[in-house]
Amino acid sequence: MKIIFFSAQTYDKTFFNKHNETFGFELEFFDTHLGPHIVHAITSAEAVCVFVNDKVNADVIKALAANGIKIIALRCAGFNNVDLEAAKKYGLKVCRVPAYSPEAVAEHTLAMILTLNRKIHKAYNRVREQNFSLKGLLGFNLHGKTVGVIGTGNIGKAFCRIMIGLGCNVMGHDLSEDQELKKIGVVYKSLNEVFSQSDIISLHCPLTPETHHLINRSTIVQMKQGVMLINTSRGKLINTTDSIEALKTGQIGYLGIDVYEQEEKLFFKDMSENIIDDDTIQRLMSFPNVLVTAHQAFFTAEALNEIALTTFENILQLSSGMEISHKGALLC
């Protein structure tokens, strides 16, 4: 059975080739995104394997079905880039990797918080230039601060545990409350309460029509002056233009983003020789209190091993008509 990979990076090839020694699939890797420009070139494969910025809309799915593709395997947790209704209509199975390593993303979230707070990015460069002054590096204790976590699923839960461990007061907001988290001290609150009471707000809910631009001008004004906002979930949870306005007034005191509304044109590519045609991200990167990482929160060896293994197991089980063993992996 042949699987065609899109948006494939060197590390994808390394980890998938390693695990394929057990599975024995035929693999083909393309570094380009899946989209209307390439979908007609797909032949003689049964499955495509896609990532966060591949465009799997109705037109692409129709063409995939016409070219004999039976399975769309996402090698990520989020699936907002796939039109599931169209996949059902054309009889394609769609699977994902629901929980490969929630700790990878949760720990990166903490890294962003500590970097922004203790200004590690500035200290690193400063000391290398033999400037040992502490001017401008003042931070605050995380211990005792109130942290609001929006979305307490796999990643949000791992993040809550870390922040409880640091001695923070953790407030959660989700469509359903997690009893284990409540037992360790997480208090569930309304969205408005999370916005108005948190010193740090971290987003861990999926991108859906309800969460699109969850952070916008009218929700930002509810937040504490100087709030720290962290987004490792999906870029479109934040209205970036509104966040820039709030950074200019100081309403947002710190912004850490691992995801960005228009990231598909930039992230996962070396653009160091290019002129960036995106004034919004350029403005964001001009603020000293903004930290941007390029969708790397998932990027640990443990996570990549788990992603490759689960993706192959999903495909094997689907192609042999078995029930998928990974809970939450089958989307349709």
Residues that bind ligand NAI (CB under 6 A): 77-78, 99, 102, 105, 150-156, 173-176, 204-208, 210-211, 232-234, 258-259, 295, 297-298
Q: Does the active-site annotation cover 234?
A: yes
Residue (71 or 259) nearer to ligand NAI, CB: 259
**Among 259, 322, 269, 225, CA closest to 105:** 259
Residue (26 or 177) nearer to ligand NAI, CB: 177
Catalytic residue among 96, 295, 306, 313: 295
Which position's Cβ is nearest ligand NAI?
A: 153
The least CB distance from residue 143 to ligand NAI, in Å, is 25
Catalytic residue among 261, 263, 264, 306: 263
Q: Does the active-site annotation cover 263?
A: yes
Q: How far apart (Å, rounded) are the C-alpha atoms in residues 236 and 115?
A: 23
The least CB distance from residue 73 to ligand NAI, in Å, is 16
Residue (69 or 108) nearer to ligand NAI, CB: 108
Q: Does the active-site annotation cover 118?
A: no
Going by their DSSP bridges, the two strands 71-74 and 47-50 should be labelled as parallel
Residue (2 or 212) nearer to ligand NAI, CB: 212
The least CB distance from residue 236 to ligand NAI, in Å, is 10
The least CB distance from residue 297 to ligand NAI, in Å, is 4
Residue (155 or 223) nearer to ligand NAI, CB: 155
Q: How far apart (Å, rounded) are the C-alpha atoms in residues 230 and 116?
A: 10
The least CB distance from residue 126 to ligand NAI, in Å, is 28
Catalytic residue among 96, 108, 234, 326: 234
CA triple 262-332-159, angle to 5 deg: 55
Residue (20 or 296) nearer to ligand NAI, CB: 296
Q: How far, in Å, are 36, 54, 128, 254 from residue 28 at the CA level?
A: 19, 16, 44, 42
The least CB distance from residue 145 to ligand NAI, in Å, is 21
Burial degree of 33 (CB within 10 A; 0-12, 13-18, 19+):
middle
Return the active site residues: 234, 263, 295
